[in-house]
Structure 1
Amino acid sequence: MQFWSGSELAKDFVDALLETNPELRLSAASALKHEWFVGTRNHLNTRSSRSIRSVTRSDHGHRVDPLEVDRLAGDLQRLAKFQQQSTKHYGFL
């Protein structure tokens, strides 16, 4: 199968899900363990998650650390770029 664009792991993931032979097709349980899917979840559980928690906790009369906010913004931009690269123009020919 040919794709317009997307990461090689994403293409492999979709190929495995679209396999016409049921015996070779990726099961739902296996799909959740696929490297692309696991990598995406792990990528989300980065410093950003911790930063979000720390910023949301700091609204109880405590001052928010501007450096932490800057780090959070940078993490979110990198995550958005990663997500865009993973799914950008996803289609197949």
Structure 2
Amino acid sequence: MNEEYLNENSREFKAAKELEHALNDYGWNEKKFALAVTTFHRTLQQTLFRSMVEVIRIMGSEDYRYDLRNKASHEICKRIVDSGVLEDETIPFI
């Protein structure tokens, strides 16, 4: 796994930890989150989407460590990666 990117002082790591805290609540609603994202500036929506694509690539990789709690996520991500759909298009920064 790309350990060199796991800089705990980076803004990306800090943002991921903030999201982790928000997700760690049984009241989290994925649909409300997704709808809230549509209020972002369009360029920021693209940045978030590129980030989600990277999450899918990492979670779908052969060296991604998973257990029964996130096995289904790994398998779905692996199918997406293996399909080649993520390689078909680039997501521009406009």
Using structure 2 for the length normalisation, give the TM-score. 0.29
Higher normalized contact order (CA 8 Å, seq sep 6+, divided by chain length): 1
- Higher radius of gyration, 1 or 2: 1
TM-score by length of 1: 0.30
